[in-house]
């Protein structure tokens, strides 16, 4: 039998995968509003994806570390 904590962990990990296509689409749309050429749009979208994922990782670390301190 699978422990309840493991089931909760797997159920929350599956939901985080929905953010990846959302980040990609938002980054492409944002890049397309700033540039006209496909190469520039792709470069801007990649930079935006990295920025958003980095920001999300930073917020994740703050939440995890605050859980240990409180």
Each domain of the chain, given as residue ranges in start order, spans 4-69
**Is the Cβ–Cβ distance between 34 and 48 less than 8 Å?**
no
Q: List, in sequence order, the alpha helices (H) in the chain.
A: 4-16, 19-34, 38-69
The structure's pTM equals 0.71
pLDDT in tens, 20-32: 899 999 999 999 9
Residue with the larger pLDDT of the pair 9 and 32: 32
């Amino acid at each position: 039998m699978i422990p309840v904590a493991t089931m909760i962990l797997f159920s929350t990990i599956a939901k985080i995968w929905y953010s990846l296509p959302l980040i990609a689409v938002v980054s492409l749309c944002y890049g397309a509003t700033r540039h006209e050429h496909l190469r520039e749009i792709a470069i801007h979208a990649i930079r935006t994806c990295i920025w958003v994922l980095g920001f999300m990782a930073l917020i994740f670390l703050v939440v995890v570390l605050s859980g240990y301190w409180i």
